[in-house]
Structure 1
Amino acid sequence: MNGNWLLPDYLADILPAQARQIEDLRRKLLDLFRTFGFETVSPPMLEYIESLLTGAGKDLSLKTFKLVDQLSGRTLGLRADMTPQITRIDAHLLNRPGVTRLCYCGPVLHARPAGLVASREQLQIGAEVYGHAGIEADLEIIRLAIESLKLAGVSNGQLVLCHDGLVQAIINSDPAAQARADEIVALLRDKDLPGIASLRDDGMGGPSVSEPVVAALELLPRLYGGAEVLERAASLSVFKGVSAALESLKTLVTKLAGEKISLDLADVGAYGYHSGVTFSIYASDWHDALVRGGRYDNVGAAFGRARAATGFSMDLIRLARSFGQAEPAAAILAPSSGADDQALTQLVAQLRADGEIVVQLLPGESVAHDEFIFDRELARDGQQWVVRPVNTTAKPNSNSNS
């Protein structure tokens, strides 16, 4: 059997109706970002692997397709996340003093799917603020993320806040915990309490973690809920840096009053990458976060300029699934034009310039569009071409596979 039409696992074509929805949303979101003062950049799909993975951790490396550049012989990567590229642009190309706001939208590819229902190709859109270390930048980014989901029609978003500085403060207090940092972060993400308890034993996993650190780590997965979580977390302030992290979260909860907010102090990002407030936005009927973001200060140091930075990203293809079936657009059907029928050609051009959809049939063409419903047509009225309504009770020959 010829399988030339088959695609690799976890990849799919996007057909006209959904493609239109995705493109409409892309334009609206980039316009929204612009109203906040963000400038759009567009980095290349391919870069040297060292640049793509700078400061990004092991997770991103496993997701990145790698290949050899036939021109230089060096290893290239197909981007799996655009944030390192935006950081490179800010640090090395723009190199502006003060605050820089950048946004982007483009495809990313994953060598491995993130889950059973995840695609290996995403259309990633996001925004980043560089050059401001204060909570005000985190607040701006979170508000923009919330507005983005509302614009996309997701009005029931649940904002979940965390602070990676809190987790780092606990881990950094014990050399044994530092040696097992990646393992600890994975256990916290999974809220694996037995696994956290096993850190007391050296066994095959590495050196034994001290009792105070394990006890603190065991508390984190239980610190989930409303603002009262911050009071319950106060006992962790014995670790240097925890008080400042809790104060930042308290400020955000106060400033974002009116939004649906919860705290999950075990919802950590990548250890050594995120450095402060992190957040996710969930919604009903979705199994995973629609938006993820947070602070990642000093990642730009590898590009020659350490900068405070915070941002978020989301997948437009995944988000567009919430729209349901797209309704066909109203359009005008025009007959084929003869070489000498300038009047018809001019009218079609004028209607299109006015924003109308005009499908002009080619000789012998039958109507075969799922995206349009022809409620008007061009027809002769004496010596003139006019637009007139047609019967819309039935959509003509709408089977696009015919």
Structure 2
Amino acid sequence: MSTWLLPESLADVLPAEARRIEELRRVLLDLYRTYGYELVAPPLVEYLDSLLSSGSSDLALRTCKLVDQLSGRSLGVRADMTPQVSRIDAHLLNREGVTRLCYCGSVLHARPAGLLSDRELLQIGVELFGHAGHEADIEIIELALESMGRAGLAEARVDLNHPGVARAILDADPALAQVGETVFELLSVKDRPALEGLQQRWPEVQSTTVDALVALVSLYGGADVVDRARRELPALPAIAAALDSLETLMRALPGHAFSVDLADLGGAYGYHSAAVFSIYAQGWHEAVVRGGRYDGMGREFGRARPATGFSLDLRKLSSGLPPAPLASAIRAPWSSDPALLQMLRALRDSGEIVIQMLPGQSQRLDEFHVDREVALEEGKWLVREIH
């Protein structure tokens, strides 16, 4: 095998794309700072029990594992930064009241999340700890939408769900108490035949439970889905509270395009605790942003705190944007003339890109458009247009 081949679902990022990803990172982190979010940088590798404290089996399957040569304990390469940020809030900062944190770093998946997914992501996100009210969820969704606007995405659509709806149905039927995550996976892929056949696998399952789960598969569409759910689902207090929560979020964010999909649960059974959302946009085959409420994750670190947030992959975000324009640059000859060197320093200090040509060498540039050059005219160094 050639030494330059990369493992499956891993890829290099070349100059023009790498520059745009870095510019997106700077724009978004600066945006989050204006909202009062403080930047943290957790380590790439941690003890496995800390990384997997959320209890999500999906996260466990995506986490690469190794043995620490110093301690002999099991380590994990992070597949998601949210548990790490939760640990920082609960154990290291240990603040009272609201804490806003943001982050950006690489994460590695042991297996790709989908057919077109990469295993290495550059994850950026924000987490808000310490407030259980809808106000925190509203701020998070607003900030996620503004992030899309800053990145240049037009007509982003927010898809809402609440795992409490499906969880209430499962909790009302003791026969499904131990297989909730399996049922959640069937709901996420809208496997109606498998849901209709639940009683064949587990005869103790109530027929009303099967009917309610099958109804969930068709409960997707516009905001009117909430009203349909009230009519078609069991009249359980937990379901009513979850649907009320979704209505509150949509009313608080007028002017945005919302959809509701009560079966799109992903790994929410072991991770999120209340309203969750995804943001979709033209040009991406899957959600660009995912987020939601995950109260209590910090319990493993000593403090169970209300928490909500979102994250996205900058590499995926960049891949769907139009090609980045080339940056204007100036070409300069190689010379040790003090006057030239002083001029080049002044140009760079003013923000210009100046590329000196090495003797006898040509070069190809992917990021820059050389539209000017430095030339010596009548004993003076001048910048002139290239025609």
TM-score tier, shorter chain, comes to over 0.9
For residue 319 of structure 1, what is the aligned residue in structure 2? 317
| 1:207–1:47 Cα change, 3 Å | farther
Q: CA deviation at 1:237?
A: 5.3
Residue 364 of structure 2, aligned match among 360, 368, 373 = 368
State TM-score, norm by structure 2.
0.96
Distance in structure 1 (CA, Å) of the matches to 2:2 and 2:166: 50
For residue 399 of structure 1, what is the aligned residue in structure 2? none
For residue 326 of structure 2, what is the aligned residue in structure 1? 328
For residue 298 of structure 2, what is the aligned residue in structure 1? 300
The answer to which of 323-332 and 119-128 deviates more is 323-332
Distance in structure 2 (CA, Å) of the matches to 1:353 and 1:346: 11
SS where residue 258 of structure 1 aligns?
A: coil
Residue pairs, 1:130-141, within 5 angstroms: 130-141=129-140
Residue type at the aligned position of 2:34: T
Give the total of aligned pairs.
385
Does the alignment pair 1:216 with 2:212? yes
For residue 161 of structure 1, what is the aligned residue in structure 2? 160
For residue 241 of structure 1, what is the aligned residue in structure 2? 238
Does the alignment pair 1:53 with 2:49? no
For residue 96 of structure 1, what is the aligned residue in structure 2? 95
SS where residue 124 of structure 2 aligns?
A: strand
Q: CA deviation at 1:207?
A: 5.8
Residue type at the aligned position of 1:174: D
Distance in structure 2 (CA, Å) of the matches to 1:163 and 1:286: 23
| 1:26–1:379 Cα change, 3 Å | same
The answer (yes or no) to whether the contact 1:334–1:377 under 8 Å persists in 2 is yes
The answer (yes or no) to whether the contact 1:92–1:304 under 8 Å persists in 2 is yes
Q: CA deviation at 1:326?
A: 2.6
Q: CA deviation at 1:324?
A: 2.9
Does the alignment pair 1:150 with 2:146? no
Q: Which runs of 5+ in 1 are unaligned?
A: 392-402
Superposed CA offset, 1:123-170 (max 9, x none): 111111111101111111111111111211211211111011222122
Distance in structure 2 (CA, Å) of the matches to 1:80 and 1:44: 12
Does the alignment pair 1:252 with 2:249? yes
Q: Which runs of 5+ in 2 are unaligned?
A: none
Residue 281 of structure 2, aligned match among 276, 280, 283 = 283
Distance in structure 2 (CA, Å) of the matches to 1:232 and 1:324: 39
Q: CA deviation at 1:278?
A: 0.5
RMSD value over aligned CA atoms? Answer: 1.4
| 1:8–1:272 Cα change, 3 Å | closer
Superposed CA offset, 1:169-220 (max 9, x none): 221122211111011101110111111111223x3xx563222222211111
SS where residue 122 of structure 1 aligns?
A: strand
Does the alignment pair 1:347 with 2:360? no
Distance in structure 1 (CA, Å) of the matches to 2:285 and 2:385: 46
Distance in structure 1 (CA, Å) of the matches to 2:375 and 2:37: 47
Distance in structure 2 (CA, Å) of the matches to 1:87 and 1:297: 10
The answer (yes or no) to whether the contact 1:197–1:214 under 8 Å persists in 2 is yes
The answer to which of 60-69 and 217-226 deviates more is 217-226
The answer (yes or no) to whether the contact 1:104–1:126 under 8 Å persists in 2 is yes
Distance in structure 1 (CA, Å) of the matches to 2:172 and 2:71: 44
Q: CA deviation at 1:223?
A: 1.2
| 1:27–1:56 Cα change, 3 Å | farther
For residue 30 of structure 1, what is the aligned residue in structure 2? 29
SS where residue 345 of structure 1 aligns?
A: helix
SS where residue 146 of structure 1 aligns?
A: helix
Residue type at the aligned position of 2:327: A
Distance in structure 1 (CA, Å) of the matches to 2:367 and 2:257: 37
Residue type at the aligned position of 2:259: S
Distance in structure 1 (CA, Å) of the matches to 2:212 and 2:99: 37
For residue 63 of structure 1, what is the aligned residue in structure 2? 62
